[in-house]
Amino acid sequence: MSSSFLSLAFLTSTAFHPNRFQHSKILFMSIPARPSQELAAYITAVIAQIPPGKVATYGQIAKLAGLPKHARLVGYVLKHLAPGHVLPWHRVLNAQGKISLSKINAHGENIQALKLMQEGVVVLNNKVSLKQYQWQP
């Protein structure tokens, strides 16, 4: 197993019966300890395709990148973008259409909400209507 992967073992519940003892099952799973450049490239390539005026969810990005059920990995990649990047990070929202980040400018305004509104996306109470603005590639 590669050193870039972290092994996790999960114990399933142990059933104890007076006449017998059923051993616990150990389930192993590997998850990236930190995302490889390749996985990050898949994620950023999908985000780069979101057109202005549209949004996508973390889970949607993960699925389109070929990494279903890895929405948190999308968030990790976005959090660790290099300074000065040009990726439209502001177009990525949580599954409810809520703005997850709290990047605030000097005037106390949410930067993500401002960027979305500049693109014509209506933001109410830090939430966007996915029905109206979700990107459908």
What's the CATH code of the domain at 68? 1.10.10.10
Position 115 in a domain: yes
Mean pLDDT, residues 41-63: 97
Position 47 in a domain: yes
Position 10 in a domain: no
Position 85 in a domain: yes
Residue 22, pLDDT > 50, answer no
Q: Place 105 in a pLDDT band, splitting at 50, 70 and 90.
A: confident
Mean pLDDT, residues 59-85: 94
Q: Place 20 in a pLDDT band, splitting at 50, 70 and 90.
A: very low
pTM of the model: 0.73
Beta partners for 57? 93
Residue 66, pLDDT > 90, answer yes
Q: Domains in the chain: how many in total? A: 1
The tally of CA atoms less than 13 A away on the side-chain side of residue 101 is: 22
Residue 34's pLDDT is what?
56
Position 11 in a domain: no
Position 119 in a domain: yes
Position 66 in a domain: yes
* 27 sits in which H/E element: strand 26-32
Distances (CA, A) of 112 to 20, 45, 104, 123: 58, 20, 8, 10
Position 7 in a domain: no
Residue 57's pLDDT is what?
98
| Helix segments in the chain, DSSP class H | 37-48, 58-64, 71-79, 111-118, 130-133
Residue 17, pLDDT > 90, answer no
Mean pLDDT, residues 48-68: 97
Domain that holds residue 44: 35-133
